[in-house]
Chain A
């Protein structure tokens, strides 16, 4: 089935560690996004990419970096994790053009101790 997958699904790490969250999609979509969800704050955009050569910061990009290795792969890195980066992280994809709907992966629960 065409799908958006995220690995790992759960991760516990310590302050200062480098963490990479990975996202793969088989939908053939050009656009990919990384969000984080915090209680009471909804989903906030971290980074987005409209194609392999296009990377853009979202509203909360500080402390994060991304890599678009291929059309189907978009990874999110925390160079030096801190406790307030504890959250649910979601990857999403969409087609280009007039496409409005985004399709989300199952999420990664990250805990930074």
Chain B
């Protein structure tokens, strides 16, 4: 049962244009969402996150949008650069019923972004 899904295995974009990576989730108990970027032969690195009480978070060229009613989040990269070429994972966390975060993250399958010069 895939609770976090990234339905696009790959995305190809021209340098300078916008990249939009999408993520859908099914668990309404997720309270926090994160995006990670992964280069070959390296571990994933944290990129940007958003709390479920917000609908947008921006950090430089990166913006994450959350649509709770649709259980959908997206990562926008503007403008895209060749160095952004990587695998992007979305992840989500459940806030436990007892009010204590257990820190477990559920990851999507990943989307390979290729930005062409």
- Determine if A104 and B107 form an interchain contact, defined as CB atoms under 8 angstroms apart: no
- Determine if A44 and B107 form an interchain contact, defined as CB atoms under 8 angstroms apart: yes
> Dominant SS at the B interface?
strand
Given contacts A4-B43, A101-B34, A105-B43, contact A42 B109 (CB under 8 A): yes
| A-B residue pair count with CB separations less than 8 angstroms | 59
- Determine if A101 and B43 form an interchain contact, defined as CB atoms under 8 angstroms apart: no
Given contacts A40-B109, A42-B110, contact A104 B103 (CB under 8 A): no
Residue of B nearest to A104 (CB): B43
* Complex-state Cα separation, A47 to B103, whole angstroms: 12
Question: Is A74 in contact with chain B by the CB < 8 A criterion?
Answer: no
Q: Which residues of B contact A106 (CB under 8 A)?
A: 41-43
Which of A31, A42, A101: most chain B Cβ within 10 A? A42
* Complex-state Cα separation, A101 to B45, whole angstroms: 9
CB distance from A32 to the nearest CB of B (A): 10
Which parts of A86-108 form the interface with B (CB within 8 Å)? 90, 92, 94, 96-107
Q: Which residues of A contact B6 (CB under 8 A)?
A: 42
Residue of B nearest to A35 (CB): B107
* Complex-state Cα separation, A22 to B111, whole angstroms: 28
Question: Chain B: residues with CB nearer than 8 A to chain A?
Answer: 4, 6, 9, 32, 34, 36, 41-46, 49, 89, 91, 93, 101-110
> Across chains A and B, which 4 residue pairs bring their CB atoms closest together, nearest first?
A104-B43, A43-B107, A42-B109, A42-B107
